[in-house]
Amino acid sequence: MPERTLFRGVRLVDPAGGQDAVTDVLIEDEQVQAVGPGLDPGRAEVLEGDGLVMAPGLVDLHAHLREPGYEHKETVETGSRAAAAGGYTAVCAMPNTDPVADNAAVVMEVRNLADKAGLCDVLPAGAITRELAGEALTDIGEMAEAGVRLFTDDHNCVQSSRVMRLALEYAKAFDVVVCQHAQDEALSEGWQMNEGHYSALLGLTGAPGAAETVIVARDLALARLTGGRLHVTHTSAADSVELLGAGKQRGLRVTADVTPHHLALLDEDLVSYDTFLKVNPPLRSAEDRDALRLGLGSGVLDAVATDHAPHAAEDKEQEFDQAPPGTIGLETALAVVLTELVDAGLLGLPDAIDRMSVRPARILGLEEHGGPLTPGRPANLVVFDPEAEWTAGERRWASMARNSAFDGRRLRGRVLHTMLRGTFTVRDGEPTR
């Protein structure tokens, strides 16, 4: 049942509505009914918002929900629950499942599983190429018809310039986005971490940031050639940020995201050989991290995306070179951004919400998400305590996995309530189902 709830005296941070003020917000019939000071609760339950922030529900451009095929790592239901626990109301699910989401049937299956779970809107991404093999294009038109807005071979990078060109041409024709995991295979063969001082010190094979940047440069040229919409995901290298900025200045239709872990962690953290810190693309240098932070602040990087990548415990309990890359991220993303960027004075809170909700919703064309939280709009929202401190991993994750790169770290900012169309999916910090 949708609730009837009055949040009294909450700080409403709603960039799309141009709001940042302490106010009352009344939720009724799945919608925001009224916003303003001193609202009459009527029959609504009253929740005191003292010191709390309300924002439009977060939107993730990049999450691996693993189903179908890898249900021992995560399912659409547990991934949706993790998303809700992290304040998300919409996530884009990556297509590297088994079978691959390279056709409308798998897309429908994922969406049906998400509807059944009812915890978060899940927008399945479609593969660019069949079986993610980088050769034959999928039926982008058929999947676009089925509602797919974003196409990616994520985990793989489309190596062929010809295939990428064709994908961007189709993307233009069907008004969808091509999302690239930018990584030149020849430059990154056998990689374990970022190439640099620490890869030499640790004796691990490195991949240079240039493995990403050469693909970003090529794809920008192809975006210009085709007029297709390009999205660069999990940007990790300083030079990539510079190219993206130049591309935007030229008016190219390009957007980009960055992960919380690339904004917060460094290649030098790998001196512990902690497999939870092995991610793809790898954690890079302080210079790269600083450029990513600046890029997010300036808006050259449009969004924070989690690259939530759950693994079974035994997957990560292997030697470093055998362990698969990836970190879970949905339940820590907001706190990492608040702790590392907002509290550090590098990003204002409204800009943080813009990058985690408003812009990703626009990239995906999700009109119900990203605010504005104004009367008559769907009540997709998060309420969090920006001051609450906690230690990542101290409580059970809602995700099936526990491979968090932030495991054991102190973070500030805790999600208390998440609402999807006026119904609590998380209440007082606990998923409602």
The contact set with Zn ion (CB under 5 A) reads 154, 181
Shortest Å distance, C-beta 181 to Zn ion = 4
Per the annotation, the verdict on 175 as an active-site residue is no
- The catalytic residue among 24, 257, 307, 354 is 307
CB closer to Zn ion out of 179 and 270: 179
CB closer to Zn ion out of 31 and 255: 255
CB closer to Zn ion out of 63 and 334: 63
Q: At 103, phi and psi to the nearest 5?
A: -155, 165
> For tokens 């109301």, what's the residue?
89
CB closer to Zn ion out of 63 and 119: 63
Contact status, residue 150 vs residue 143, Cβ threshold 8 Å: no
CB closer to Zn ion out of 102 and 154: 154
Shortest Å distance, C-beta 167 to Zn ion = 16
CB closer to Zn ion out of 324 and 372: 324
Shortest Å distance, C-beta 309 to Zn ion = 8
CB closer to Zn ion out of 67 and 307: 307
Shortest Å distance, C-beta 406 to Zn ion = 19
CB closer to Zn ion out of 154 and 219: 154
Pairing of β 5-14 and β 19-28? antiparallel
Shortest Å distance, C-beta 137 to Zn ion = 19
- Residue 177's Cβ-count burial label (10 Å; 0-12, 13-18, 19+) is buried
User: What is the number of alpha carbons within 13 Å of residue 68 lying toward its C-beta?
Assistant: 14
Shortest Å distance, C-beta 15 to Zn ion = 27
Shortest Å distance, C-beta 63 to Zn ion = 11
Contact status, residue 204 vs residue 147, Cβ threshold 8 Å: no
Shortest Å distance, C-beta 267 to Zn ion = 18
The 3-class secondary structure across the chain, one letter per residue, is CCCCEEEEEEEEEEHHHCEEEEEEEEEECCEEEEEECCCCCCCCEEEECCCCEEEECEEEEEECCCCCCCCCCCCHHHHHHHHHHCCEEEEEECCCCCCCCCCHHHHHHHHHHHHHHCCCEEEECECCEHHHCCCCECCHHHHHHCCCCEEECCCCCCCCHHHHHHHHHHHHHHCCEEEECCCCCCCCCCCCEECCHHHHHHCCCEECCHHHHHHHHHHHHHHHHHCCEEEECCCCCHHHHHHHHHHHHCCCCEEEEECHHHHHCCHHHHHHCCHHHCCCCCCCCHHHHHHHHHHHHHCCCCEECCCECCCCHHHHCCCCCCCCCCEECCCCHHHHHHHHHHCCCCCCHHHHHHHHHHHHHHHCCCCCCCCCCCCCCECCEEEEEEEEEEECCCCCCCCCCCCECCCCCEEEEEEEEEEECCEEEEECCEECC
Give the contacts of 97 (CB within 8 A, at least 6 positions apart): 65, 66, 67, 68, 69, 70, 106, 110
Which residue of this chain has its Cβ atom nearest to Zn ion in the complex? 181
- Annotated active-site positions, please? 307
